[in-house]
Amino acid sequence: MDRIFIFDIDGTLTPSRLRMTEEFAKFFDKWSEKNKYYLVTGSDLDKTKEQLPTAYMDRAEAIFTCCGNQMWRDDESIYDNKFKVPRKLNKLLGTIMSNSQYPYRYGNHIEDRGSMVNFSIVGRDCTQEQREEYFEWDKQSLEREIIANAIKEKFPELDAVIGGQISIDIYPKGNDKSQVLNVIEQERLVSPNEYIFIGDGIENGGNDYPLAKLLKHKDRPYGYAYETEGPEHTRRILESTHND
């Protein structure tokens, strides 16, 4: 059975914004030697390198960063979808941040990654503990969902989706993680029998959802999408399914 695995990184192969754990690395070291896989993340390449051991990046068929808007292989850029951030969007994000009811700010709130924008009320300079505090608050207030909907209403040509624990990813409509499937299919001489995608942002309408939705509605080759709660859950998914 020829299978291609596609993994989100943050919250899937690693804890959110942290290095891969030693325990998971021991499992993934053996698994990654026997399987073909791609990586697709909302982060940029530098942040990805902070989280994953070099060996697992090298073994990947390719790495898609910035929600699939950049593609890398052996540290070489294969393509880069440029996105110039509208001034009106920056202004709107500033207004949203000022009006947020969340009381804490830690810096690096609007991060232009060249092919997308990452927006965070609490700020990407927060500590892990501060990240967890905002994440729990957001689950109750649904602030990020409300903000994402407001951005899409104001800018119908853009998409805004929940990313990770604290942020929102913003990019031109259609330039989401689903675009990687066409790239993968064009690269392969023979289509695999199955695609298996694992991500943590599927059921909440996060940045993994577009790719999961495409796989579920694709007839050939057959696709599976699994929602994960973290690396240990990812391990259980890989151990209990698609083992033949």
Interhelix angle 209-216/179-187, rounded to 10 degrees, is 60
Half-sphere exposure of 214 toward its Cβ, with a 13 Å CA cutoff? 14
Distances in Å between the Cα of 117 and the Cα atoms of 3, 44, 74, 148, 180 are 32, 11, 25, 12, 18
CA 38 to chain CA centroid, Å, is: 12
Beta-strand relationship, 3-7 and 36-40? parallel
8 labelled catalytic: yes
Q: Which helix (H) or strand (E) holds 5?
A: strand 3-7
Q: What CA–CA distance (Å, rounded) separates 95 from 26?
A: 46
Question: Which member of 8, 138, 169, 200 is catalytic?
Answer: 8
Residues with active-site annotation: 8, 10
